[in-house]
Amino acid sequence: VTFWTDSTTALWWIKEQGNWSVFVENRIKEIRELTRGLIWKHVPGKMNIADLLSRGCSAKQMLRSRWWEGPLWLKERPENWPIGDKLCSSAEIELERRKTKIINIDLSKD
């Protein structure tokens, strides 16, 4: 089984360990548990037919779309699929890194 995402940020979170915000950490933990040992890859947004509805389409367009059967390349042998290893920039990743504050208080009396 291969899972595909058009979010390079989500792919990074799934594949790499990090000290993420509580929200992200909880979701990534569940995804990892449910897909343990399975493959995750990136599909460019233009090739992601699941994205059709979020881009907006009419009922007529929906009925004629590949959404019902998947992209043509998915029916080919896996070696002909998109490479799917693209990861995003570290700047995007850092936005969801858990924020840490260090406070030092000296209570000694002089």
pLDDT in tens, the chain (110 residues): 889 888 888 888 888 887 888 888 899 999 999 999 899 988 887 777 777 777 777 888 888 877 777 788 888 898 888 876 666 666 666 666 666 677 888 888 86
pLDDT of residue 35: 95
Spell out the domain ranges in the chain.
Answer: 2-96
pLDDT of residue 86: 60
pLDDT of residue 81: 85
Measured distance CA(77)–CA(59) in Å, rounded: 31
Measured distance CA(86)–CA(41) in Å, rounded: 8
What's this model's pTM, rounded to 2 decimal places? 0.65
CB atoms under 10 Å from CB of 94, counted, come to: 9
